[in-house]
Chain A
Amino acid sequence: MKLVSRYIDRDGTGRVALIPENPEDMWHAYNLISHGDTIRASTIRKVQTESATGSSSSSRVRTMLTIEVETIDFDTQACVLRLKGRNVEENQYVKMGAYHTVDIEPNRKFSLTKACWDVVALERIDMACDPSQNADVAAVIMHEGLANVCLVTGAMTLVRAKIDVTIPRKRKGSTSQHEKGLQKFYDTVLQAILRHVNFEVTRCILLASPEVLADPAVTSRMADTKAMAEVKALENFYAVLQTEPSRAFYGLKHVLKANEGQAIDTLLVSDNLFRSQSVEERKKYVKLVESVRDNGGVARIFSSLHVSGEQLMQLTGVAAVLRFPMPELEDEPLDSDEDSE
């Protein structure tokens, strides 16, 4: 992502112009844009014109439009971001208030205006514009008869192909069917790799069995990636939960309580929570992140497109490792609203 311009007032209102470059940038944009923001981008509009004789013709026109976003759709597989909303700036083709859907296109500038730019959003821009984050790894995780071809980027794990083949087991006296099946499976996996991995971009391919991340050799090589940092943080949380349960908590209620006591050392938050429709909800989590940082803690925002992020989301989306034990929290019940579903 390229940052073209940035005008943000002290009160948080302002405008940012960005150029997305790769699929991952779409993901960042998806996380930046929220309901109620205005976005100005180049788009194609079908315009109907009526000639003097009364016959009408329609033509497709490329025009700059500014819309106030109402719905945000993101296709994780194709990495397409689509924003629907009402036109707020009339031009010769589109009337005020008319609905339009903008596809954010790669390599075309869009500018985003928010009523309030918060820390999380600004951080997201910094992260998206950091070129060093741009590392693609293709990983093929295999198991007998099952293979997942994935692309791992800083913020996303995209499963490109899943191969599920039944391999006949070895039978007494005849292993030919087993070996044939195995051969076929490998062929299919190879085909999938060739089809889905762009070797111009991808620097390395990881071929592994499911237990790969348990191997220290692999872990050390991946240590500096964001994904790995997330995995580490979550593992650390679990380890503390095992050894000192009164220092590790999850669920918004417990975490907020812990934050009140200024006890949070590491906060783990899923980025899902910042995409919330309601501004209140989003503000609540932003405040939590800010407060933790103010108190000298670390706040990690997990990408929900990584496995670790998914796991965190299942774990209510927020978790915290504390500086000191707060055993009094243990006796309190978990949040009722999060458990009732």
Chain B
Amino acid sequence: MARHRNVRTMNYDEEYDGYDDVYGHSVEDDFASSPSMQHFLYDRSQEHQMSAYIQSDIPEEEEELTSEDQSKNGADVGAPPRIPPLGELEQAQLYSCLDLLRDRMGDALSEQAGINAILASNFDAEKALDQLLRNSVPSSLKKISKPTIKEKTVPSVQALERSAPNHIMPSFKQNSLASNISMTNPLSAKPKLADLAKISLGNPNLSKSIGSNVVRPSLSELARVNLQPQNLNGGYVPHLRTITNQVPNVRAGISESDGSLNLALALRSKCSVVEGRKRTQSANVSEDFTNIPMTPDSRPIDMALVCYQASPLGRVLATNGLPSTTLFPKFKQSLMAWNGSVTIKPFDFTSPSPDDLIRSRLLEAIRGSVTREERIPVKVVPTKKVATGFSLTSTNLNTATDSQPAKQELAIEETSRQLGFLRTPGATPRSTSPAEREITPFATPKSQSRSRESRLDVASEYAKERGGTKALLNLVVVGHVDAGKSTLMGHLLFRLGQVSAKQMHKYEQESKKLGKQSFMYAWVLDETGEERSRGITMDVAQSQFETESKSITLLDAPGHRDFIPNMIFGAAQADVALLVVDATTGEFETGFESGGQTREHALLVRSLGVSQLGVVVNKLDMVGWSRDRFNEISARLGAFLKQAGYKEQDVFYVPVSGLSGENLTISSEPKLTEWYSGPTLLQAIDKFRPPERALNRPVRFVISDIFKSVGGSSGCCLAGRLESGMIQTTDKLLIMPLNEVIQIKNIAINDNSTGSCFAGDQIVLTVSGADLSDVSLGSVLCDPSLPIKVTSRIQARVVIFNVDIPITKGYPVVIHYQSLSEAATITKLIAQIHKSTGEVIRKRPRCLTKQTSGLVEIEISRPICMELYKDYRELGRFMIRANGTTIAAGLVTSIM
């Protein structure tokens, strides 16, 4: 016991002075991966310098930085491979090459490595493959690069290239060189800069000076690394390769410790120069660099460099507007040397990474607290022909000397600006909304840039695919119950050959059996048993037909007041509408008087954004084709429609008989033709103007139907109308409010598979990735980078219809929005506004009575996807109903 007590009371502090320094320090701070035993053992064959093992003079600060950056790199590993901006052709080439490489090498090939190799070999798959295979044998490489390069100094180029994708460009003219650089040795550990420098230099004197200059080591060390050409000058020609191998090391090191990529670039180009000029030139070059570290204060250059690196420190420095290039004539020259005539577009680290961008958008969307301004779609900078990276073909590499100082000064200014050295203090910080800024096209990862690019040329794509075909038009047929909507449209479809004679005969026989022969045409559209037995349409039926110049998607809406929610859904998808009225004496009046659906439908359709309306005066044969009756109806409806907000020139009237088929496609009835010479129904439909489609907006697709795919394959089918943008097969879209990404497997328009669809199309998407049971009606598929907002509280401008009960706060209503109907409460009456001028008549009114207009706040019982009216007209409209009547139409003015 006594002995134990002694041990317990022993004072370890004295013995382990500096314990924390040694043991509290993780090897991970120094190495990207755990070092093997070899790293700690002295091995003469590796020509270690003893100084490489002396840690004491490595300052704490630097280590922190290193570890920080390493973690950053670590986080990058999961990121998708970066591809520099390429033309369509090049991209296609890239992918085909990549596929080829995959075939040969299997999954062992990392995509990034493959892409790099392909780029390096100028899309020559054979060459790329050759390189990759060669590189995958590290031992052979070691042989080439001589003992000065140790295994642990082989860089993790990948990490670097992730952070600077545009620097990896096809401009590596030297294939073997490029392959060395782009090749990644997964085993390699990232060396400490100091080690790297010392090792590569093989010069003990210099390594000492490293110790003294540690606070800002990156530059000096870099330069020292480049002293190596001196060694080379000593007649070591084959070792040129080692320099090039070294350079990426340096780059990796720099990007870790400080992110001064530009310098790394400069150095690499230097080395390329070395390569290019062979050793005759290399001496001069290296001299340039030897001067740099000897400058007592290397700060200015660092300042310049950090201006566009990712670290927060750098940004602070950059915004402080420190002098950038003044103190370094030599350096400038070297910059000049490689930058002769090539424009370089650097990767902008101050802009957020696309992943961040998407994530932040998702968060915003879910929170729904985003102001309107931030929602402006990202402006896409058209891809200019900017050579990213280096072109070693520039001829004046060697000629850039001191002879033209003035011009150089100018040029360096230019160069630095291009490099982002001279960032103005006003440069947008990362914290601001990314959408407000322009984003360089190549700042986005693969999938993103694809959708962006495709968005860019959606118009041309649209022209290409749809240019020759008839314009698409969504037509909804509305009207009072039993006005003959389904019969009329069923007959029209039959006349146009959309329904076979055999099928028609079958309907005729079956309806006769039920004693409802007059419904035979309606059965074309009313297909469910209940609809047929009750003799009314209950849900919107969809069909297609073509006129002379249009391809029409027909939506036959139910007329019965119990099914108005379905009618709203149909009308929400329509571009134009047909209002069918019954001309029979008494019937028109019933439908038109208060309580009839003629008025309500006309108002609803108008409120849902349909401006062109065709009035079909049906069953005119029942009143003997009376011209007076037709005129009477036209006059009465005309007055009402004008009041409802239809322009006179956008409304036309056609007399028809749906059952007999008169004046549908041809008019032959002499009683009619004697006074009517206007167009037939078909001709009139043909005259509708197709609306402008929101082709260039982010994708929005409201799901209005979910069902199992018929083919028995897995996945589910989502039907609806594409409101904006364009969808292609294999697109990945976000489904809101579920917030899951799904993949489009198939697109069908009118049951025909197609590769792409555009805004306005009625489509059926077969998707994978989401569970059928999770998806609810009214969910929206949208662009993952610009998702739709999900909210349960909105502010809206409402127009109150002819209601019996005024709207107060707390009024329970049902909101009909696209295919959704949700319970909601009006929580606040903000203002009563003038119907036409929009002026505020009264703030905080006690109630909103009929025929007024107001600004209200609405709380919906559960979160739904919504858009502002000013962003997406169709998605910003909704109807408010209560107790079975439509009481108001609303426009979303803000989402809370």
Interface set of A (CB-CB < 8 Å, partner B): 143-145, 164, 166, 168-175, 177-179, 209-211, 213-214, 235, 238-239, 241-242, 245, 249-250, 307, 310-316, 330, 333-334, 339
Q: How far is the CB of B774 from chain A (nearest CB, A)?
A: 10
Q: Given A174-B710, A242-B804, 16 other A-B contacts at CB below 8 A?
A: A143-B821, A168-B706, A168-B707, A169-B705, A170-B539, A172-B541, A175-B529, A178-B528, A214-B883, A239-B804, A241-B808, A241-B846, A245-B806, A245-B847, A339-B828, A339-B844
Once the chains bind, are B543 and A179 in contact (CB under 8 Å)?
A: no
Q: Is B811's CB within 8 Å of the partner chain A?
A: yes
Partner pick for B562 among A211, A250, A307, CB 8 A cutoff: A211
Once the chains bind, are A242 and B849 in contact (CB under 8 Å)?
A: yes
A178 / chain B contacts, CB cutoff of 8 Å: 528, 539
Q: Is B782's CB within 8 Å of the partner chain A?
A: no
In the assembly, what is the distance between CA of A312 and CA of B704, in Å? 34
Once the chains bind, are A210 and B884 in contact (CB under 8 Å)?
A: yes
User: Which B residues, 810 to 869, have Cβ-Cβ distances below 8 Å to chain A?
Assistant: 810-812, 814, 821, 825, 827-828, 844, 846-847, 849-850
Once the chains bind, are A315 and B810 in contact (CB under 8 Å)?
A: yes
Q: Which are the 3 A-B pairs with shortest beta-carbon distances?
A: A314-B810, A211-B884, A168-B707
Once the chains bind, are B543 and A172 in contact (CB under 8 Å)?
A: yes
Q: Is B776's CB within 8 Å of the partner chain A?
A: yes
B849 / chain A contacts, CB cutoff of 8 Å: 242, 245
Once the chains bind, are A239 and B805 in contact (CB under 8 Å)?
A: yes
Once the chains bind, are B808 and A169 in contact (CB under 8 Å)?
A: no
B539 / chain A contacts, CB cutoff of 8 Å: 144, 169-170, 178
Can you name the residue of chain A whose Cβ is closest to the Cβ of B529? A179
Can you name the residue of chain B whose Cβ is closest to the Cβ of A308? B812
Once the chains bind, are A177 and B707 in contact (CB under 8 Å)?
A: yes
Once the chains bind, are B707 and A172 in contact (CB under 8 Å)?
A: no
Q: Is B489's CB within 8 Å of the partner chain A?
A: no
Once the chains bind, are B710 and A213 in contact (CB under 8 Å)?
A: no
Once the chains bind, are B528 and A250 in contact (CB under 8 Å)?
A: no
Q: Is B435's CB within 8 Å of the partner chain A?
A: no
Can you name the residue of chain A whose Cβ is closest to the Cβ of B562? A209
A241 / chain B contacts, CB cutoff of 8 Å: 805-806, 808, 846-847
Once the chains bind, are B812 and A311 in contact (CB under 8 Å)?
A: yes
Can you name the residue of chain B whose Cβ is closest to the Cβ of A338? B809
In the assembly, what is the distance between CA of A316 and CA of B828, in Å? 11
Measured as residues with beta carbon below 8 angstroms from the partner, the interface class of chain B is 35 or more
Q: Is B57's CB within 8 Å of the partner chain A?
A: no
Partner pick for B527 among A170, A210, A311, A333, CB 8 A cutoff: A170
Once the chains bind, are B850 and A242 in contact (CB under 8 Å)?
A: yes
Q: Is B777's CB within 8 Å of the partner chain A?
A: yes
Q: Is B799's CB within 8 Å of the partner chain A?
A: no
Once the chains bind, are A311 and B810 in contact (CB under 8 Å)?
A: yes
Can you name the residue of chain A whose Cβ is closest to the Cβ of B526? A170
5 A-B pairs, CB-CB below 8 angstroms? Answer: A169-B704, A179-B528, A241-B808, A250-B808, A316-B809
Q: CB-defined interface of B544-570 with A at 8 Å, one 1/0 digit per residue?
A: 000000000000000000100100000
In the assembly, what is the distance between CA of A333 and CA of B811, in Å? 20
B847 / chain A contacts, CB cutoff of 8 Å: 241-242, 245
Q: Is B113's CB within 8 Å of the partner chain A?
A: no
Q: How far is the CB of B528 from chain A (nearest CB, A)?
A: 5
In the assembly, what is the distance between CA of A15 and CA of B707, in Å? 63
Once the chains bind, are A166 and B805 in contact (CB under 8 Å)?
A: no
Once the chains bind, are B528 and A175 in contact (CB under 8 Å)?
A: yes
In the assembly, what is the distance between CA of A108 and CA of B250, in Å? 84
Once the chains bind, are B806 and A242 in contact (CB under 8 Å)?
A: yes
In the assembly, what is the distance between CA of A316 and CA of B811, in Å? 11
A172 / chain B contacts, CB cutoff of 8 Å: 527, 541-543, 751
Can you name the residue of chain A whose Cβ is closest to the Cβ of B804? A242
Can you name the residue of chain A whose Cβ is closest to the Cβ of B542? A172
In the assembly, what is the distance between CA of A311 and CA of B823, in Å? 13
Q: How far is the CB of A242 from chain B (nearest CB, A)?
A: 5
B884 / chain A contacts, CB cutoff of 8 Å: 210-211, 214
Q: How far is the CB of B224 from chain A (nearest CB, A)?
A: 67
Q: How far is the CB of A326 from chain B (nearest CB, A)?
A: 13
Q: How far is the CB of A157 from chain B (nearest CB, A)?
A: 13
Q: How far is the CB of A268 from chain B (nearest CB, A)?
A: 12
Partner pick for A334 among B541, B719, B751, B844, CB 8 A cutoff: B844
Once the chains bind, are A166 and B776 in contact (CB under 8 Å)?
A: yes
Q: Is B540's CB within 8 Å of the partner chain A?
A: yes
Once the chains bind, are A307 and B812 in contact (CB under 8 Å)?
A: yes
Q: Is B708's CB within 8 Å of the partner chain A?
A: yes
Can you name the residue of chain B whose Cβ is closest to the Cβ of A169? B705
Q: How far is the CB of A270 from chain B (nearest CB, A)?
A: 10
Q: How far is the CB of B564 from chain A (nearest CB, A)?
A: 10
In the assembly, what is the distance between CA of A13 and CA of B527, in Å? 71
Partner pick for A170 among B541, B803, B806, B810, CB 8 A cutoff: B541
Q: How far is the CB of B850 from chain A (nearest CB, A)?
A: 7
B806 / chain A contacts, CB cutoff of 8 Å: 238, 241-242, 245
In the assembly, what is the distance between CA of A173 and CA of B846, in Å? 52
In the assembly, what is the distance between CA of A250 and CA of B708, in Å? 51
A339 / chain B contacts, CB cutoff of 8 Å: 828, 844
Can you name the residue of chain B whose Cβ is closest to the Cβ of A213? B883
Q: How far is the CB of A4 from chain B (nearest CB, A)?
A: 39
A238 / chain B contacts, CB cutoff of 8 Å: 805-806, 808
Q: How far is the CB of B716 from chain A (nearest CB, A)?
A: 10
A330 / chain B contacts, CB cutoff of 8 Å: 846
Q: How far is the CB of B376 from chain A (nearest CB, A)?
A: 32
User: Which B residues, 744 to 797, have Cβ-Cβ distances below 8 Å to chain A?
Assistant: 751, 775-777
User: Which B residues, 849 to 896, have Cβ-Cβ distances below 8 Å to chain A?
Assistant: 849-850, 883-884
Q: How far is the CB of A250 from chain B (nearest CB, A)?
A: 7
In the assembly, what is the distance between CA of A319 and CA of B111, in Å? 69
Partner pick for B805 among A171, A210, A242, A316, CB 8 A cutoff: A242
A143 / chain B contacts, CB cutoff of 8 Å: 565, 821
Q: How far is the CB of A80 from chain B (nearest CB, A)?
A: 25
In the assembly, what is the distance between CA of A95 and CA of B531, in Å? 72
In the assembly, what is the distance between CA of A321 and CA of B704, in Å? 44
Once the chains bind, are A171 and B707 in contact (CB under 8 Å)?
A: yes
In the assembly, what is the distance between CA of A311 and CA of B710, in Å? 45
In the assembly, what is the distance between CA of A313 and CA of B808, in Å? 12
Can you name the residue of chain A whose Cβ is closest to the Cβ of B777? A166
B812 / chain A contacts, CB cutoff of 8 Å: 307, 310-311, 314
In the assembly, what is the distance between CA of A177 and CA of B707, in Å? 7
In the assembly, what is the distance between CA of A178 and CA of B541, in Å? 12
In the assembly, what is the distance between CA of A144 and CA of B701, in Å? 22
A313 / chain B contacts, CB cutoff of 8 Å: 810
User: Which B residues, 521 to 542, have Cβ-Cβ distances below 8 Å to chain A?
Assistant: 527-529, 531, 539-542
In the assembly, what is the distance between CA of A144 and CA of B803, in Å? 26
In the assembly, what is the distance between CA of A312 and CA of B562, in Å? 27
Q: CB-defined interface of B35-61 with A at 8 Å, one 1/0 digit per residue?
A: 000000000000000000000000000
- Residue among B527, B811, B825, B850 having the largest count of chain A Cβ atoms under 10 Å: B527
Q: How far is the CB of B886 from chain A (nearest CB, A)?
A: 12
Q: How far is the CB of A252 from chain B (nearest CB, A)?
A: 14
A315/B808 contact (C-beta < 8 A), A172-B541, A242-B850 known? yes
Q: How far is the CB of A291 from chain B (nearest CB, A)?
A: 23
Q: How far is the CB of A329 from chain B (nearest CB, A)?
A: 10
A179 / chain B contacts, CB cutoff of 8 Å: 528-529
B825 / chain A contacts, CB cutoff of 8 Å: 314
B821 / chain A contacts, CB cutoff of 8 Å: 143
In the assembly, what is the distance between CA of A171 and CA of B719, in Å? 10
A175 / chain B contacts, CB cutoff of 8 Å: 527-529
- Residue among A171, A213, A241, A311 having the largest count of chain B Cβ atoms under 10 Å: A171
Q: How far is the CB of B809 from chain A (nearest CB, A)?
A: 6
In the assembly, what is the distance between CA of A211 and CA of B827, in Å? 22
In the assembly, what is the distance between CA of A210 and CA of B258, in Å? 67
In the assembly, what is the distance between CA of A166 and CA of B531, in Å? 19
A170 / chain B contacts, CB cutoff of 8 Å: 527-528, 531, 539, 541
A166 / chain B contacts, CB cutoff of 8 Å: 706, 775-777
Q: How far is the CB of A92 from chain B (nearest CB, A)?
A: 52
Can you name the residue of chain B whose Cβ is closest to the Cβ of A329? B846
Once the chains bind, are B719 and A169 in contact (CB under 8 Å)?
A: yes
